[in-house]
Amino acid sequence: MSTSKSSLSALVLGAIGIVYGDIGTSVLYAVKTVFADGHVPLTPNNIYSISSIFFWTLTVIVSIKYVMLVLRADNHGEGGTAALLALASNAVKDKPALRRRLLIVGMFGAALFYGDGVITPAISVLSAVEGLEIVSPKFTKYVVPITLVILLALFMVQKRGTGGIGKFFGPITLVWFAAIGVFGAIQIAGNPEILKALSPHYALMFMWTSPGTTFLILGAIVLCVTGAEALYADMGHFGKRPIRLAWFAVVMPSLTLNYFGQGALLLSNPAAVKNPFYLMMPEWALLPMVALATAATVIASQALISGAFSATKQIIQLGYLPRLQMTHTSIKETGQIYIPFINWALFGAIVLAVIFFKSSEALATAYGIAVCGNMLITTILTFYVVRYGWKYPLSLCIAATGVFFVIDFAFLASNMLKFIEGGWFPILVAGAIFTLMVTWKEGRFILNQKLREDAIELPSFLEAVFVSPPARVEGTAVFLTAAPGTVPNALLHNLKHNKVLHENNLFVTVRSHEVPWIGMNKRLEIESLGHHCWQVVVNYGFKNNPDLPKALQHIKGRGCDLDAMTTSYFLSRDIIVPTVGGGMAQWREKLFAQMHRNAGSAADFLSLPNNAVVELGSKIEI
C-alpha cells in the first residue's frame, strides 16, 4: 500500500511539473492583458466581474470539460490530438466521407499545436524576464536579449535529453504554485471583499450588461486556460487519477488564490494594473520571484518542446510527415526523443516571434487563436467519439459537447479580432505545417498508386524465377516493400545486377495503425510463398518505436530462423520526378519531391544495422 501511495505521489508531482507548467505561468500576463486595451474600465465592480470570469472559465473549461469529460476519451490509455483523432476516425470508419473530413480537421488541430508551440515559450519566458523592469526601468533594454539567451540555452540542451534535470521539474513547479498561492492569499487577506467574485453572479451580470465588451475581452480571458490541452495530451504519461488529483489539490487552488490576489491588489491600488503579478510582491521577494518565474516558464516551455517531438513522431507514423532523424535521449524512457529539425525550426520561429513582438503584451495579441482552434477541434472530435464510439443518444451527445462548442467558438471568434495585430503569426505557422502534412499524405497516396500500377504480382513472379532459378547464396535477404504481394524494386535490381538470390527471402511491409500501441502478439503476420520465401507484415501503433530486426526475431520457429550476422536489408530509394498534368498542382509535386528527397533514412527509422543495409534506387514520375 505504501509503495502504491508513493508511486501515486510521484505521478502527481510529475504531473504538476510537466502537465501544468504552461497553465501555471498564465498568471504572469493574463490579468494585465484583460485591462491593457482599455475596453474594461478599472472600477471595483469590473474587477469583481473579471475575477469571477477567470474563476468560472477555469472551472468550466478545465475542471468540467477536460478533467471530467475529455480525459474519459482515452485511446488505450493515451491522450492528445493524435489519439483522439484515431478514436474519432475509427468510430466513423463505416462513413468514409465523414472520416476523411475528420482526419483533415484533426490534422489541422495537430498543425495548430505547432503554432501554439512557437508562441508559448516566447510569451512565457518574456513575461517572466519582464519582472526585471519592475526591479529597475534600466533593465528594459535587456529583456529581449536575456529572453533569447535563455531560449537558446534551452534548445541547445535538448540533444542531451532532460532525464537528468527532469526530476527537478515537479518540485520547482510545486514551489511555484505554492508561492503564487501564498502571495495571492496575502493580498486577499488585506482585501477579502474580492472573494465575492466566487459567485457566478458577477460574471453573468457583466456578460449580460456588456455583451460587446465581453466578446472583445474573451481573447484575453482565454489566456488563463492556455495549456489545458496538456492535461489530455500527457494522460499516457501520468494517468487520469494523478492529473485530476494534481489539478484539484494543487493547481486550481493556487491559480484561484493568485487571480483573486491580483484582483484584491487592483481594488486597493488600480495603478498596479501595468503588472499586477509582480507588483503584488513585497520588494524582498521580487528578484527571487523573477528567478522562480523564469525557471517555471522554462519548464513549461520544455514540456511543450518535448510534446512537439512526441507529436511529430506520432504524425510521422500516421503517415502525414516524412521520416525525420530522431535520437533517443534516454535508455530507460523510450518516449524521450530528440528531433534536430523540429528543435531548430521551433527555435527559429520563436526567435522571430520574440524579436518581432518584443513584449508579452504584444505577443498576447498573437496568442489564443491556435489555443482556441485546438480546443474547438477537441470538442468536435469528442462529439464523434461520444456519439459513434460510445453509442450515446444524440440528444445527450449534443448536451455534453454543445455548451463547450459554443464557448470554444466564442473564444475563437473573439481571438480572430486580433488576427491583423498578431494572430496571423501562429496561423501562418500552422498553415505551413498543414500544407506540408496534406501534401505529404496526398503525395504518398499518388506515389503508392503509381507503384501499384507498375507493380508485378509477387507469387507469380517468384514462380517464374524458380523455373530457372539463379544462384543462391547463404544468408537472409529482407526486402522492404510498400504493399504486400508486389515485387519490390530492390529485388528486381538485385537480380538484374547481382544475378543471385539469398537462401531465405523475406518480403516485409511495415504498417502503422491509428492506435497508440500494438503488442508483440499482434506484431507479425507471416505467409509462406514457398522456395524459402515469406511475406511478412509488421504492425506498429503510432506510439510504438519501430525496430524491425527485433520484430523479425519473432519469426523464429516458423520455418525461418534469422541470424543477424548473415541478414541483409534491401531498400528501394526512389527519386520522385514531378510531371505536368494529373496528381497534385505542380508546386505541390515539387514540394513533395523535395520532402521525399530530404526524408530521413528508412534504415534509421526502422533501427536497421548500418553495416547490413543495401539501398538500390530508381526514378518514378508522378
pLDDT band of residue 334 (cuts 50, 70, 90) is low
Q: Please tell me the predicted confidence (pLDDT) of residue 136.
A: 84
Grid cell 523475406 is found at: 506
The sign of the torsion formed by the CA atoms of 75, 78, 79, 81 equals negative
Say how many C-beta atoms besides its own lie within 10 A of residue 383's C-beta: 19
Q: Which residue has the higher pLDDT, 409 or 75?
A: 409
Q: What is the rounded CA–CA span in Å between residue 497 and residue 337?
A: 39
- CA-based max dimension of the chain: 95
Tens-digit pLDDT profile for residues 369-390: 888 998 999 999 999 999 999 8
Q: Identify the residue with better confidence: 622 or 257.
A: 257
Q: Which of 39-43, 146-150, 172-176 has the lowest mean pLDDT?
A: 39-43
| Grid cell 531560449 in the structure block, residue | 151
The answer to whether residues 554 and 480 touch, using CB atoms and an 8 Å cutoff, is no
Other CB atoms within 10 Å distance of the CB of residue 396? 12
Determine contact, residues 118/426, Cβ cutoff 8 Å: yes
Confidence of residue 319 (pLDDT cuts 50, 70, 90): confident
Under the banding of pLDDT at 50, 70 and 90, the label for residue 77 is: confident
Cα(231)–Cα(244) distance, integer angstroms: 9
In percent, how much of the chain has pLDDT > 90?
50
At 524, list the grid cell: 507479425
> pLDDT, tens digit, for every residue of 555-614?
887 777 788 888 999 988 778 888 876 678 889 989 999 998 888 888 888 989 988 998
Query: What is the three-class DSSP state of 539?
Result: strand
149 CB-near residues (< 8 Å, 6+ apart) = none
Is pLDDT at 255 greater than 50 in this prediction? yes
Question: What is the identity of the amino acid at 570?
Answer: F
pLDDT at 162: 63
Report pTM: 0.85
pLDDT (0 to 100) of residue 163: 59
User: Mean pLDDT across the stretch 256-261?
Assistant: 97
Backbone angles phi, psi at 596, to 5 degrees: -65, -40
The angle at the Cα of 259, spanning 19 to 40, to the nearest 5 degrees, equals 120
Per-residue model confidence (pLDDT) at position 228: 85
- Per residue in 200-245, pLDDT (tens digit) is 999 999 999 999 999 999 989 999 998 888 788 888 778 889 999 9
Query: In this structure, how many other beta carbons lie within 10 angstroms of the beta carbon of residue 521?
Result: 7
Which of the four pLDDT bands, split at 50, 70 and 90, describes residue 1?
very low
Q: Cα(371)–Cα(101) distance, rounded to whole angstroms?
A: 21
Q: Is pLDDT of 339 > 80?
A: yes
Q: For the chain, what is the mean pLDDT?
A: 89
Contact predicate 420/412, CB 8 Å:
no
Alpha-carbon torsion 309, 98, 434, 513, what sign? positive
Q: Which residues contact 531 (CB under 8 A, 6 or more apart)?
A: 462, 466, 469
Query: What mean pLDDT do residues 89-117 have?
Result: 90
CA distances from 420 to 347, 417, 588 (A): 23, 8, 28
Q: List CB contacts of 558: < 8 A, sequence separation 6 or more.
A: 526
Confidence category of residue 317, pLDDT binned at 50, 70, 90: confident
Give residue 591's pLDDT: 92
| Residue 2, pLDDT above cutoff 50 | no
Q: What is the mean pLDDT of residues 145-153?
A: 94
Domains and CATH numbers, the chain: 2-442 (1.20.1740.10), 455-621 (no CATH)
Highest mean pLDDT among 47-51, 132-136, 229-233, 424-428: 47-51
For residues 261 and 72, give the distance between their C-alpha atoms in angstroms, rounded to a whole number. Answer: 33
Q: Flag whether pLDDT at 164 surpasses 80.
A: no
Confidence of residue 330 (pLDDT cuts 50, 70, 90): low
Backbone angles phi and psi of 472, in degrees to 5: -115, 135
* Confidence (pLDDT) at 3: 40
Lowest mean pLDDT among 199-203, 213-217, 300-304, 346-350: 300-304
Segment 522-528 shows an average pLDDT of 90
Measured distance CA(103)–CA(100) in Å, rounded = 5
Q: Kind of pairing, strands 337-338 and 500-513?
A: unpaired
Report residue 483: phi and psi, to 5°: -125, 130
| Phi, then psi, of 210 in degrees rounded to 5 | -135, 65
CA 443 to chain centre: 23
Write the CB contacts of 170 (distance below 8 Å, at least 6 apart in sequence). 13, 14, 15, 16, 17, 18
Whole-number Cα distances in Å, 279 to 107, 125, 274: 42, 18, 9
Three-state SS at 526: strand
Cell digits for 458? 509477387
Locus of grid cell 470508419: 93
Q: How many CA atoms lie within 13 A of 273 on its CB side?
A: 18
Please report the pLDDT score of residue 134 as a whole number.
Answer: 86
Per the CB < 8 A criterion, the answer to whether 116 and 374 are in contact is: yes
Torsion angles phi and psi, residue 574, rounded to 5: -85, 140
Looking at residues 298-306, what average pLDDT do you find? Answer: 86
Confidence of residue 166 (pLDDT cuts 50, 70, 90): low
Q: Which of 203, 261, 234, 228 is nearest to 63 (CA)?
A: 228
- Of 469 and 196, the one with more pLDDT: 196
The residue assigned the cell 537480380 is 495
Supply the pLDDT for residue 309.
86
What letter would DSSP give residue 579?
-
Rounded Cα gap, residues 592 and 566, in angstroms: 36
CA 26 – CA 31 distance, rounded (Å): 9
pLDDT, position 331: 58
How sure is the predictor about 19, in pLDDT bands with cuts at 50, 70 and 90?
Answer: confident
Residue 408 and residue 405: Cα distance in Å, rounded? 5
Q: For 171-200, what is the mean pLDDT?
A: 96
The answer to whether the beta carbons of residues 498 and 568 sit under 8 Å apart is no
Residue 347 has a pLDDT of 95
Lowest mean pLDDT among 54-63, 163-172, 273-282, 295-304: 163-172
- Output the CA–CA distances (angstroms, integers) from residue 192 to 185, 270, 289, 608, in the order listed: 9, 16, 24, 65
User: 328 — phi, psi (to 5°)?
Assistant: -85, 125
Grid cell for residue 125: 519566458
Q: Which three cell numbers stand for residue 193?
A: 471583499
Q: Which residues lie below 8 Å from residue 546, measured CB to CB, with a gap of 6+?
A: 317, 510, 540, 605, 606, 607
- The continuous run of DSSP H or E covering 502 comes out as strand 500-513
Q: In whole angstroms, how far apart are CA 209 and each of 37, 40, 200, 224, 383?
A: 19, 13, 14, 23, 32
